[in-house]
Each structure stands twice: as structure tokens, then as C-alpha cells.
A = this chain, B = another copy of it.
Amino acid sequence: MPYPSGHAEKSKAKIVEAARCLFNAHGFEKVTIDMVMKEAGLTRGGFYRHFASKEVLYGAAVQSFLMGKGAEWRADAGVDPTNLSPEMGQQMLDSYLSAKHLGELENQCPMIALPSDVARQSPEVRQAYQNLLTAMVWLFESTQEGSAAKRRQRALAMSALCVGGMVLARTIPDSELSEEVRAAAYQAASDLTKT
């Protein structure tokens, strides 16, 4: 089997990563196979050796965030999922609802960058999106205090605040209002942990 072993996997990973960045910035429809392959340092033709369709790539791109850039992101933010303390939950809030995260179009969480895009895709893509949510909820739930039901409810609400606050802040044009929304969501989510 010619080509160094693991070559295909490496290429595939490069394609997924390029796709993730491009989809995040421009959405599903505006990104072409051409753009993705060029960004990955390859050419159009080879694409279908790795993926059955553009849609399958989209699912892979969303999914990739969890263990890829997302893990990197958590590391940078000082969020360590093996250390489940209330401080860690707060750390997560600090980073997720930060002005910095809002500005990082290419590397921000896909839950923020492409919700309505994903909502109209196949169940597989939506499942990938759900996996991101599940991970976030789990993290908040595990770092809460109080009864199981309370922790669950708060974790879900905190996730809704994270995504809702950032989605709104990212969409509206008035940067002052945008900042206000982000800050208010952060405040409310932080308050939830201390109730």
C-alpha cells in the first residue's frame, strides 16, 4: 500500500480542519469544495477519495471541534475536564462568554457559528452538533453543587445562556449592544452557579 502509512488520515484531517474554519466563517452554502481543498493544500479532485459528499464533510467538521480545536481551546482557557471543581465551571464560563471568543470567527465554537445552518441539515450533522451540547452540559453539570436535578437544570440553562448570548452578540451590528448582551449573559450564567 503505497504512500506512507497514515498519509490518507493526515490528509483527511487537514481537509476537515480547513473545512471547519471555512464553514465557521462562511456557512455551509458559501463554502465550496474547491475552497476547502485549496485551504488544505490539495486540489478539488481528490476530495471524493475521503468523503462521500459535502454534507458528510460538514458533519465531520462540526464533530471535529470537540476533540480538536475545542480541546486546544479548553487547554488555552485553563479548562481541565479531569478536574471537576466549581472553579473549573466558572473558568469555562469566563472563556466561553468572553469578548475574545466572540471575535475568533474561525475558531469559535460551532454551536455559536452555525446553529441555523445545522438545523436544516441531515440527522447526522445535527447529531454532531448535539454532541457538542452534551459535552458542554456535562461539564457544567459536573462542576455544579446541589441536587442532581438542580445541577442538571442549571447546566442546561447555562448552556442556553452561553449559546444564546454569543449568537445574539455575534449577529447584531451594534457593537455596544452586542457587548451588553454578552456581559448580561455572562452575569446571569455566573449567578446561576451561586444560587
Quick check: is A188 within 8 A (CB to CB) of the other chain? Answer: yes
| CB pair B171 A184 closer than 8 Å | no
Quick check: is A181 within 8 A (CB to CB) of the other chain? Answer: yes
Quick check: is A114 within 8 A (CB to CB) of the other chain? Answer: yes
Say which residue of B117, B130, B173, B184 sits within 8 Å of A116 (CB atoms): B117
B residues near A152, Cβ cutoff 8 Å:
180, 184
Say which residue of B120, B172, B173, B174 sits within 8 Å of A26 (CB atoms): B120
| A185 and B119 alpha carbons, distance in the complex (Å) | 19
Q: Taking CB as reference atom, which chain B residue is nearest A186?
A: B157
**Shortest beta-carbon distance from A20 to chain B in Å:** 14
B residues near A123, Cβ cutoff 8 Å:
173
**Shortest beta-carbon distance from A186 to chain B in Å:** 9
Quick check: is A159 within 8 A (CB to CB) of the other chain? Answer: yes
Say which residue of B118, B154, B157 sits within 8 Å of A161 (CB atoms): B157
**Size of interface on A: residues with Cβ below 8 Å to B:** 47
Identify whether the interface residues of A are mostly helix, strand, loop, or mixed: helix
Say which residue of B113, B117, B172 sits within 8 Å of A27 (CB atoms): B117
B residues near A157, Cβ cutoff 8 Å:
161, 165, 184-185, 187-188
Quick check: is A167 within 8 A (CB to CB) of the other chain? Answer: yes
List 5 other contacts, CB 8 Å, given A161-B161, A163-B167, A164-B165. A30-B120, A130-B172, A152-B180, A157-B188, A160-B160
Residues of A within 8 A of B (CB): 26-27, 29-30, 111, 113-120, 123, 126-127, 129-130, 133-134, 152-154, 156-157, 159-165, 167-168, 170-174, 177, 180-181, 184-185, 187-188, 192
